[in-house]
Amino acid sequence: MNTHVPHPTGRESFLVVGKDVPRTDAVPKVTGAAQYVADLVMPGMLHAAVLRSPHPNARIVAIDVSAAAKMPGVKAVVTGADTAQRKWGAFRPDLYPLAIGRVRYVGDEVAAVAATDPAIARAAVDRIAVEYEVLPAVLSLDAALAPGAPLVHDDTPGNIAHHFAFERGDVDAGFKASGVVVEGTWESARQWHTALETIGCVAQWSGERVTMWCNTQTPFLARGRYATALGVPEAQVRVIQTEVGGGFGGKSGDDNASVICALLAKKSGRPVKLIHTREEEFLASHPRMPMRYWVRLGFARDGRIKAKEIKMWADNGAYTGKSQAILGAASVRHDALYRYPCARGDSTLVYTNLVPTGAFRGFGNPSADWAVEQAWDLAAGKLGIDVVDLLRMNAVGPGDRSPHNHKITSCELGQCIDKAAELVGWRAKRRARAPDRETLTPNPSPERRGEHRASPDVPSGLVMHHEPAREFNEPAREINEPARGLGMGCSVHVNGRRSFGDWDGSAAIVTINEDGRATVITGEGEIGQGNLTVLRQIAAEELGLAYDDVDITRPDTDLQPHSLGALASRLTYVAGNAVKRAAAEAARQLLNAASEQMKRPPEELTVINGQVGPRNGSETEFRAVGAIVRANIYKPGGQPIIGVGNFDNPSDFPDHNRYGNESGAYNFIAQAAEVEVDRSTGQVTLLEIASAVDCGTVIHPAAAEGQVQGGVTQGIGLAMIEYFDWYNGSPTDPQLKDYPIPGAALMPKMHVAFADSYEPSGPFGAKGLGEIGLDAVPAVIANAVADAVGVRITQLPITAEKIHRALHPELYAGEQVPPPVAPKGSVWTRLAAGRPSGARPANPEMLFPGTVEEAVAQFAAEDAAIVCGGTAHALRRERSGYPFAKRLVAIGRIPELNELSIDAGGALSMGAAVNQERLYAEPRIRSGWHAIDDALEAVGHTRIRRMITVGGSIGPLIGGFDLPIALLALATRVTVAGPQGRRTLTLEDAFEKRFAKDEIVVSVAVEKLAPRTGSSFLKYMARAVLEIPTVNTAARVTLDEKGRCRSARAVVGAVSWKPIVLDLAELAGKALDENLVRGAVQNVRSLASPMSDVRGSAAYKREMAAEFAARALLRAWQRAKEQ
Amino acid sequence: MLIRFTLNGDPVEVALKAADRLLIDVLREDLRMTGTKHGCGIGSCGTCTVILDGEPIASCLQLAALVDGCEIRTIEGLADAGRLHAVQQAFVNKAALQCGICTPGHVLAACALLDKHPHPTDEEIRTSADSVYCRCTGYQRILDAYREAARLLGAATR
């Protein structure tokens, strides 16, 4: 056994710990061999589909499943009547596995089907008839808290699911002693985990016992809850963890999916697989809980914190899950970050008829940080102290205790603050700037109740208040010049927490085997964070074995000791300690065995690289570990080497009001970011973000860095791009298109550093770090935005539109906001038609015509559709559920449609089946028609361009598509073929007069551009990845010999039914300048008739239409000049 | 409807249950090649990326009937007799994965890029990596893996 003596500065010399050993799961994951729950197949396995409530609040009058049950292939249908009718839930049992008499949110589970084929199961769901009595619903905190509001649960008056309050220390005296006080109200947002693998289960009963293969983070906790929900003893439930395709809190056993799967398996007597669709994941998983968070901070004039007070309300959704605990974390955890002498709080968990919320990486901290870290930034401004210095001055350190008795052990927060600031060049960038600015605060929620307001005299609408001069603000700039700003924030997190009873421990068994290898037996599991790798490293280090010689088990509740699993950033610290102790015990037994066999006292022996021998002994004196184990077994009374290790977090079980030391150790982070804000659009570009983390000893640097980078990225998503449009209590389009997550192109320069730190109670000095990378990111970005342009965003997300409105309030002065209307398409189309499942009854015929004329003839028949790239058909099918047609005419292989040529006169001709990737690869298009190339580039990826054809882009005549907008700026003619023959028309005419229903696009021809002509295409997407942009524009400018404008055209799409085409005759003959160009497109605002949606309000889209029309023209003009 | 195509170098023949069956379902359900993962079903996430005639596509949008006669590569077709493909090795070397559900998509997107551009620019790498979502890693190590893969492939051909 290695004996580790902590280095005075915390450094030790390790053989395995601190090394980037190959991840345990790497090879199976890169080869596709890893088995996720959706990959499991059992003989006779059925597929499940779930019927969900279309109403946010309704009484179930009657359910008739008879038609569904009779369908061939359907083997079981279950409703609430088939369940034990027992409520379940982690802390506050309030959820039935399937609705009993009442539904409480859009997505609430009502019934489910198991059938031999997924398509049959979905079709059967549509045959279940449910009669609802729709009830008034509470769809916001304010509605739920209003006097006399409808109750989400009849037994919960006032919709208050949970409430607690505390006062620790003399808060009034603290504020009295404060020279500077800041306060404000912030609102955080729902965020979906969006693991790329959805929640799923395969369940199989054997007699009275069910085995559930689940992608759960917490197999043992899930088993307990599932047993409750099923109404059977825990002994009848076995949970096996499959590979988990991302958890982030969303797979911690609070959803009904696995329970319903087990119910169906019981009733059908066959194994059943239930996998959430992406839509179900958005409707019915448990996203992050949004909070309204009022905070007041008091400071001495020198910057020392004197007092803190919070009051907050959290939107629980319809059922509680873990939200009660999240409320607690959001209320008190932050007080372990700075040296608050006192704190007062009042926290309320509120039921609403919205999707239930739950655990998500950060567990309440991001909402607290969103408010409090911005309040600290406000305070820095008011105090006239650089926020870095202010945070540094107040940061907790080793030995500190929070007002709630958080006992700070190791803590390098100060080091983290310095490092984060250094990584973004904070001091140098600050020195380059000068003082004085006003701050604009967009009032976050006009509907907010007066008592929640930051200050009661704040009127609704935009509020301007002056923040005191900061010594480091920028000099005044041109109004439309991009502005840069810096932001800083910190966070603290636990390493495990006593949440489910007075134990936050872990137990592990380590065996050293006769083959010389060791096995770590633990039920803690792996969700992608690298836990199995880290636990193997800890065991190998402790045992003196090579990492490759240590194996580890996957969770199976039948096989391992009780384990809490992946939650509360606990595994490295809590499970790591248990494994280390088990390994130490196994090593002790090994050395005792060796001592007996080698006739030396055990303290003289050690294990090095799989060999046991005397310390400082010669090579020949060493014996293989396996040989020693074997000799220890094969003797009378012999036994294998089995070490058992237990560790319980040295923490308190906090009381009802959250007093108590939550964890034996705490991890810390400081983050700094620089943003650039485009004042003309409000768009924020995150240039760089630095994270400096104190997680003690870093066990696996690559995995640790990955945890931070991944957390930061989810924080960026939460801050800026992850949000939906809502209608009647549900996202209008619950798909990944309307809810983008950050892609690689959005990534800023990302720095990660680890503090030199050592936690005496951690394994080899380590602490956890799974969640902390995310927590402060939204606040850090908001602080940087405030620094850049003086706009303080108080309501997540930070959108370009909010910033634009705050910067240019005059543009929105006369805005008329229309009432919300029912959205078209997606889930609504299906619900309105009584076909919620998206099942497709038709099995179309696929036709392969050899010529255009043959295709036209086939297309002319009833119920036919063209397929080529494949996207339109597949997309429509996925999103609306309807079959496109009974015959699909596949035109992709007709030779004529695949022609792509540029003739002697320089004209471009593109066949309808040519895909955009082929165009993109053609250098002559790139050089000849910039607008086309820009549009192809704007598509983003080869993968998408490869699926989009010329005909598919033009045929539907949709102005939000890129290619037609670009082509409208050029001289473009379209040839179509129909039963009457062929005809050629300009693209403008096509948009005016449309194609006949039975015509198909054959080719598109674009003339060579005149000399001294530039063209361009620009797409503005507020969130970077959408199919339909906020606005897309194209332009063409031709100059005369003297460089004056001969002709100019601008095209604007996505803001009106038809594209807006402007031939700007007033520019002809003029020498262009920016003002002239901008002036020429001002009427775009009035010509546009945009819809308000997730991409922006109508008013904002009008502004952006004019802005980007001008930008496209300026770009085209520039290109014309360059010729 | 019967289709024939080349899957990872081998000829396959599949009787489609329905003419509009998607490639991802043919791979995962009919051929039991579950290395291709389902993510969103609408071509947004790229998790289901496979290589069709040398180019990355979303198999959740691809009608299987239209791949008749084509060549398809999936994650199962990269390693050769237990030896990892250079791109797979690069993802292992750089620990460029966490939960792994998007990893096949990322590995195949990288293969498709590197087949065409053995010495990609950082911009080309970023654009390719942007075509597949990853919810875990923040992409930094995936971008590293692309560079590592280019290096390994370059070393192998030198």
Cβ-based contacts of B94 with chain A (< 8 Å): 702
Cβ-based contacts of A688 with chain B (< 8 Å): none
**Domain for residue A889, yes or no?**
no
Are A684 and A675 in contact, with CB atoms under 8 Å apart? yes
Burial of A681 (0-12, 13-18, 19+ CB in 10 A): buried
Q: Which tokens go with A388?
A: 């870095």
pLDDT above 70: residue A826: no
What pLDDT, on a 0 to 100 scale, did the predictor assign at position A865? 85
pLDDT above 90: residue A862: no
> Which A-chain residues 996-1035 have CB contacts (< 8 A) with chain B?
1025
Which residues, 6 or more positions from A1026, have their beta carbon under 8 angstroms from its beta carbon? A737, A738, A740, A1095
Q: What percent of chain A has pLDDT above 90?
A: 83
Check whether residue A716 and residue A773 sit in a common domain.
yes
Check whether residue A1005 and residue A907 sit in a common domain.
yes
When the candidates are 3.40.50.150, 3.10.20.30, 3.30.1510.10, 3.40.50.720, the CATH number that belongs to B2-77 is 3.10.20.30
> Which A-chain residues 839-878 have CB contacts (< 8 A) with chain B?
843-846, 867, 870-871, 873-875, 877-878
Q: Do B40 and A278 touch (CB under 8 A)?
A: yes
Nearest CA-CA partner of A762 in A669, A692, A663: A663
What pLDDT, on a 0 to 100 scale, did the predictor assign at position A5? 42
Span A444-467, average pLDDT: 35
DSSP A738: T
Lowest-confidence region among A396-405, A479-488, A900-909: A479-488
What pLDDT, on a 0 to 100 scale, did the predictor assign at position A6? 45
**Domain for residue A547, yes or no?**
yes
**Residue A83: which CATH number?**
3.90.1170.50
pLDDT above 80: residue A453: no
What pLDDT, on a 0 to 100 scale, did the predictor assign at position A59? 98
**Domain for residue A771, yes or no?**
yes
pLDDT above 90: residue A461: no
Q: Do B42 and A247 touch (CB under 8 A)?
A: no
Give the global pTM.
Answer: 0.95
Q: Which tokens go with A368?
A: 């607290």
Binned at pLDDT 50, 70 and 90, residue A468 comes out as very low
Q: Is A1103 on the interface with B (CB under 8 A)?
A: no
More confident of the two residues A186 and A467? A186
When the candidates are 3.40.190.10, 1.10.150.120, 3.50.30.50, 3.30.160.270, the CATH number that belongs to B86-157 is 1.10.150.120
Q: Do A32 and B36 touch (CB under 8 A)?
A: yes
What pLDDT, on a 0 to 100 scale, did the predictor assign at position A363? 96
Number of domains in chain A: 4
**Token match 């007799």: residue?**
B81
Lowest-confidence region among A5-19, A231-245, A854-868, B109-123: A5-19
**Residue A604: which CATH number?**
3.30.365.10
Helix (H) or strand (E) run with residue A551 in it: strand A550-552
pLDDT in tens, A123-137: 999 999 999 999 999
**Domain for residue A31, yes or no?**
no
Nearest CA-CA partner of A1076 in A1114, A1037, A1025: A1114
Which residues, 6 or more positions from A66, have their beta carbon under 8 angstroms from its beta carbon? none
**Residue A914: which CATH number?**
3.30.465.10
**Identity of the residue in B42, B56, B65 whose CB atom sits nearest the CB atom of A878:** B42
Check whether residue A554 and residue A579 sit in a common domain.
yes
Looking at the complex, report in whole angstroms how far the Cα of residue A869 sits from the nearest Cα belonging to chain B: 8
Cβ-based contacts of A743 with chain B (< 8 Å): 130, 133, 139
Binned at pLDDT 50, 70 and 90, residue A855 comes out as very high
C-alpha of A200 from chain center: 18
Cβ-based contacts of B52 with chain A (< 8 Å): 946
Looking at the complex, report in whole angstroms how far the Cα of residue B157 sits from the nearest Cα belonging to chain A: 22
One DSSP character per residue, A91-155 reads SS--B-SS-SSEE-STT-EEEEEEESSHHHHHHHHHT-EEEEEE-----SHHHHHSTTPPPSSTT
**Domain for residue A892, yes or no?**
no
**Identity of the residue in A31, A741, A946 whose CB atom sits nearest the CB atom of B55:** A946
Check whether residue A279 and residue A293 sit in a common domain.
no
Check whether residue A206 and residue A292 sit in a common domain.
no
Q: Are strands A1031-1039 and A1013-1020 parallel, antiparallel or unpaired?
A: antiparallel
Q: Do A888 and B20 touch (CB under 8 A)?
A: yes
Nearest CA in chain A to B123: A745
Span A77-99, average pLDDT: 96
**Domain for residue A1010, yes or no?**
yes
Which of B31, B136, B139, B152 has the most A C-beta neighbours within 10 Å, making it the best mutation to test the interface with A? Answer: B136
Lowest-confidence region among A665-679, A853-867, A1076-1090, B140-154: A853-867
> What angle is formed at CA A826 by the lines to CA A824 and CA A830, rounded to 5 degrees?
95
Check whether residue A293 and residue A437 sit in a common domain.
yes
Span B42-60, average pLDDT: 94
Q: Do A870 and B62 touch (CB under 8 A)?
A: yes
CA atoms of A783 and A420, how far apart (whole Å)? 15
Q: Are strands A623-624 and A641-648 parallel, antiparallel or unpaired?
A: unpaired
Nearest CA-CA partner of A672 in A384, A429, A375, A440: A429
Cβ-based contacts of B66 with chain A (< 8 Å): 867, 870, 890, 892
**A133 strand-pairing partners:** A59
pLDDT above 60: residue A672: yes
Check whether residue A481 and residue A386 sit in a common domain.
yes
Cβ-based contacts of A744 with chain B (< 8 Å): 126, 129-130, 134, 139, 142-143
What pLDDT, on a 0 to 100 scale, did the predictor assign at position A825? 62
> Which A-chain residues 514-543 have CB contacts (< 8 A) with chain B?
527-530
Q: Do A712 and B41 touch (CB under 8 A)?
A: no
Nearest CA in chain A to B39: A196
What pLDDT, on a 0 to 100 scale, did the predictor assign at position A822? 80
pLDDT above 70: residue A67: yes
Binned at pLDDT 50, 70 and 90, residue A445 comes out as very low
> Which A-chain residues 743-762 have CB contacts (< 8 A) with chain B?
743-747, 750
pLDDT above 80: residue A842: no
Domain boundary among A266, A284, A302: A284
pLDDT in tens, A772-789: 999 999 999 999 999 999
Looking at the complex, report in whole angstroms how far the Cα of residue A953 sits from the nearest Cα belonging to chain B: 16
What pLDDT, on a 0 to 100 scale, did the predictor assign at position A1011? 95
Span A259-275, average pLDDT: 98
Q: Do B133 and A41 touch (CB under 8 A)?
A: no
Domain boundary among A630, A648, A666: A648
Nearest CA in chain A to B132: A743
Check whether residue A345 and residue A402 sit in a common domain.
yes
Looking at the complex, report in whole angstroms how far the Cα of residue B14 sits from the nearest Cα belonging to chain A: 15
What pLDDT, on a 0 to 100 scale, did the predictor assign at position A883? 55
Q: Is A985 on the interface with B (CB under 8 A)?
A: no
Cβ-based contacts of B7 with chain A (< 8 Å): none
ipTM passes above 0.95: yes
Span A10-22, average pLDDT: 85
Check whether residue A487 and residue A533 sit in a common domain.
no
pLDDT in tens, A798-807: 999 999 999 9
**Identity of the residue in A528, A700, A947 whose CB atom sits nearest the CB atom of B43:** A947
Q: Do B131 and A735 touch (CB under 8 A)?
A: no
Check whether residue A311 and residue A219 sit in a common domain.
no
Q: Is A30 on the interface with B (CB under 8 A)?
A: yes
Range of the domain at A271: 37-135+198-244+251-284
Check whether residue A453 and residue A366 sit in a common domain.
yes
Cβ-based contacts of B62 with chain A (< 8 Å): 870, 874, 947
Span A7-12, average pLDDT: 47
Check whether residue A621 and residue A674 sit in a common domain.
no
Domain boundary among A648, A669, A702: A648
What pLDDT, on a 0 to 100 scale, did the predictor assign at position A95? 97
**Domain for residue A26, yes or no?**
no
What pLDDT, on a 0 to 100 scale, did the predictor assign at position B51? 98
Looking at the complex, report in whole angstroms how far the Cα of residue A715 sits from the nearest Cα belonging to chain B: 10
pLDDT above 80: residue A364: yes
What pLDDT, on a 0 to 100 scale, did the predictor assign at position A462? 33
Q: Are strands A749-754 and A605-608 parallel, antiparallel or unpaired?
A: unpaired
What pLDDT, on a 0 to 100 scale, did the predictor assign at position A939? 84
What pLDDT, on a 0 to 100 scale, did the predictor assign at position A829? 65
What pLDDT, on a 0 to 100 scale, did the predictor assign at position A254? 93
**Identity of the residue in B34, B41, B56 whose CB atom sits nearest the CB atom of A278:** B41
**Domain for residue A848, yes or no?**
no
In A891-978, the DSSP E strands lie at: 900-902, 908-911, 972-978
All structural domains of chain B with their residue ranges: 2-77, 86-157
Span A623-643, average pLDDT: 97
Q: Between chain A and chain B, how many beta carbons pairs sit less than 8 Å apart?
A: 254
Average pLDDT taken over every residue of chain A: 92
Looking at the complex, report in whole angstroms how far the Cα of residue A108 sits from the nearest Cα belonging to chain B: 21
pLDDT above 80: residue A52: yes
